[in-house]
Chains A and B, each alone.
Chain A
């Protein structure tokens, strides 16, 4: 089955700790994205990558970092510099053949202890 997977489903972070959220896709999509969703707000773009070994900051990149060493994988690290990390994190990839539509993974809910 082709799709986008994210793990873990729930993640708990302690003060001062870095945590990494996984995103994997086997759809052969070039472009991948990370969004953050907070209650009552629209999705906001954190980072995106159009191709392997290249990524760009989105609108709210401070306190986050990413890597794109493989086409299939785009992990997001939430660093201790991110002061308000509690949110629902969504990874997406873009399909060239369907209006360049973005499709989302199941999400990771990050909570601060």
Chain B
């Protein structure tokens, strides 16, 4: 079956670095996405990985290992505003099959403390 696992919650300190892991088991793979969702708001796109390796975008980086079914989101120089839920999503089919639908993990609730 299709399964995406993330820790339910994490806590970190302002200014620190935190790594949020995501493991997936899907029938196929056509890209992995990370979204940030503040309470009561819609998810906003953070990063996209389709090849193995690290993608860096400012304070945020995302890593993918397709052979291990594993990704992580790395947040550096944490700020209070980074307190949010972080959603890992996998597109397991080719884009024009099933609309390129995404399978979402349940999200990791990150709390940043002063």
Q: Do A and B come from one complex?
A: yes
Interface residues of A (CB under 8 A from B): 31, 33, 40-45, 48-50, 56, 58, 90, 94, 98-107
Residue among B42, B43, B44 with the highest chain A CB neighbour number at 10 A: B42
Nearest residue (CB) in B for A106 is B42
Q: How many residues of B contact A (CB 8 A)?
A: 26
Minimum distance in angstroms from A84 CB to a CB of chain B? 18
Q: Please give, as numbers and ranges, the residues of chain A lying within 8 Å of B41 by CB-CB distance.
A: 106-107
The number of inter-chain residue pairs (CB within 8 angstroms) is: 59
Which of B42, B103, B106 makes the CB contact (< 8 A) with A104? B42
Interface residues of B (CB under 8 A from A): 4, 31, 33, 35, 41-45, 48, 50, 87, 89, 91, 95-96, 98-107
Minimum distance in angstroms from A29 CB to a CB of chain B? 12
A99 with B42: in contact, given A42-B87, A42-B106 (CB under 8 Å)?
no
